[in-house]
Amino acid sequence: MPELQQKVALITGAARGIGRAVAEVFVREGAAVMIADLPASDGAATAAALRAAGGQAAFVAADVTQDADAMVAATVTRFGRIDILVNNAGVFYTADALTTPFAEWQKAFDVIFHGALHCSRAAGQVMVAQGQGGRIVNVSSVNGFLGAAQSSHYNTAKGAVDQLTRCLAVEWAPHGILVNGVAPGFVETPMAVVDGVNEHETPAFQEFYVRRRRIPLARPAQPEEIAEVVCFLASDRCTYITGHTIVVDGGLSITF
């Protein structure tokens, strides 16, 4: 029997990359999914593709920084309930801690951390009212516990998401809501392409991370490999894990 049969999931930032892979795995496992992404994204096309493949999927155009209540309401209106929330929406760009205007630094924090907080609160209220528990999975990053130049905004926001995971897990455990996270390393997604260049294909990446095995498995992850871990954490097979962020990085963070 599919692992997510009769479950309803809301996935933010699901038009492409890891979010889309999560949606595809969830549909394969029987869930109805609401694709939430910005209006100009490929979210409608993603939902249409999932329906064409026989799945239950819909799209809501939404910004996680201001539309959390609306996207949760749209999910309940369309599918009748919400059992799973995947906080995947994110942004990445370089920023200098000394010179980048604070508004630009704050933008990453607003999307990554405040977006996860707002969506968790909105979905958590519905889950509590339903009285049947639920699952929240936050897509974090190894950057949440590693340092990097030009990335203090992104790394700090991801670290805050990890702490949010722990705190909500404690606070919402009496309601049967399990809150966990995944922390990917390098993943083959559109975010890996900067100025038209896939950073995973550059000579520097291939030399340091692949040939010298800074990543012990000597390759970036495919989005589906992250999605499978998200699926486990969202499923009824996960019954005694809460408050943890599972690292899925091919061994990147255990080397030096």
Report the catalytic residues.
Answer: 154
The Cα 178–Cα 165 span in angstroms is 9
Structure tokens at 30: 């029987």
User: What is the C-alpha end-to-end distance of the chain, expressed in Å?
Assistant: 42
Residue 72 CA: distances (Å) to CA of 4, 95, 176:
19, 32, 19
The Cα 229–Cα 221 span in angstroms is 12
The Cα 16–Cα 148 span in angstroms is 25
Question: Of the candidates 183, 184, 204, 200, which has an alpha carbon nearest to the alpha carbon of residue 192?
Answer: 200
The Cα 68–Cα 82 span in angstroms is 13
Number of CB atoms found within 10 A of residue 32's CB: 23
The Cα 165–Cα 86 span in angstroms is 12
Residue 90 CA: distances (Å) to CA of 19, 86, 145, 201, 225:
10, 12, 17, 23, 18
Q: Where are the beta strands (DSSP E) in the chain?
A: 8-12, 32-37, 56-61, 84-87, 134-139, 177-184, 193-194, 197-198, 245-248
